[in-house]
Amino acid sequence: MQSHFLIQQNFDNRRMIAKELIKKRFIKYVTVNTESNPKNPAFPSSENQWNLAKILEQDLKNIGLSDVVLDKNCYIMATLPSNINYKVPTIGFIAHIDTSPDFTGKNVKPQIIENYNGKDIVLNKTENIILSPNDFDDLLQYKGQTLITTDGTTLLGADDKAGVTEIVTAMEYLIQNPEIKHGKIRICFTPDEEVGKGAHLFDVNKFGADWAYTMDGSQIGELEYENFNASSATITIKGKMVHPGYAKGKMINAMLIANEFIAALPKNEVPEKTSEYEGFYHLHDILGDVEKTILEYIIRDHDINLFEERKKQMQQIAFNLNKKIGKDLISVEIKDQYFNMKEKIEPVMHIVNIVEETMKDINIKPIIKPIRGGTDGSQLSYKGLPCPNIFAGGHNFHGRFEYVPLESMQKATELIVRITEKVTKKYA
């Protein structure tokens, strides 16, 4: 077996080739529209996700992976067989192919910013859309690097096509460099993660890994095994329309009742005013008129008891307002989406420690923190597949200011390779 130094030297010697390959592959994937649809109960929720799934199916076959299967639910699974003569744990790497419905992913036109100078980046001159370190100071970490940005009119799709790109490229690298010894590796690309369904039809037994990692985090170094408990809440308010000139004592304005409901929630417990372990209520959609108004919320908290209290508080506000009005005009429907994976990961913390050690081996500073969101990994952990989350490199997900440093993607690709090597050595 080659020494770690020689393997690392080999990787370093080919870095520029890998960098160009990553860029080309990433651009190929992000220019395919895969926006998911939260209002469609079908699986996947948008037909266009099949377009990228079929491209990936062929790409995985072309690089030489085995058992490449695109199933009827738009999950793509594949295997890199072991190249050693002893048994080690089978590990997996997972990413999702859909992009957020919060902002359009149609007609993505990536821009390449070489040798970023630390100043404002004009994304769209016509519409005066500027990506500025004055607004996003994380940009200053990447002076001198290559940034891939949007053109200001769409999201980019680094969430999670950066993760997809990194996994495909790492598997190709391992195939082309058989001197790097590894056990059996399984990969999967899932649909509909952005609408909370990405793990719903994931077949854990078929996947057959002892544990896995989602490549779905943000900045370089992120390593996460805690996430929000999450629910959606739909508040439906009924009103009564009467001609405004004759409305006294008769009209019931659903929009004004909705305003009372909103005002009754803690005003500082919103995403823009919370951080770290602090939970929130997030009003993300309003549709209404006098007769009927619908409020769409998401509820988030890391602490399960506080999470349950948040759900009860919404029900209590509706009860109080109905009592005040004297009629049952407000209904609340709450649906749980996923739960904090911490409970499932802590008993197997060695799978987190392996990544932390590997990051340090290749000069990445680990940033271990709770996810202020969720991943497929949170649901998969409760289905019996422990699945922490690793950075994919992007910033400002779900909007026009999204960007990803190419060097971060390159480092994530290397990390995947090194994790497979680390596991092999630990279980030799």
The catalytic residues are: 98, 193
Distances (CA, A) of 378 to 31, 197, 212, 239: 28, 12, 11, 39
**Measured between alpha carbons, how far is 225 from 223 in angstroms, rounded to an integer?**
7
**Measured between alpha carbons, how far is 313 from 316 in angstroms, rounded to an integer?**
5
**Measured between alpha carbons, how far is 145 from 85 in angstroms, rounded to an integer?**
41
**Measured between alpha carbons, how far is 88 from 183 in angstroms, rounded to an integer?**
6
Task: State yes or no: cis peptide before 160, omega within 30 of 0.
Answer: yes
Residue in 142, 153, 55 with CA at minimum distance from that of residue 111? 153
Residue in 406, 316, 364 with CA at minimum distance from that of residue 23? 406
Pairing of strands 121-124, 229-238: unpaired
DSSP line for 132-152: -TTT-GGGGGGTTS-EEE--S
Burial state string for 242-255 with b = 16 or more CB within 10 A and e = fewer than 16: eeeeeeeeeebbbe
- If you ran DSSP here, which 8-state letter would residue 246 be given? G
Structure tokens at 428: 């030799």
**Measured between alpha carbons, how far is 394 from 410 in angstroms, rounded to an integer?**
12
Q: Specify the 3-state DSSP secondary structure of 363.
A: coil
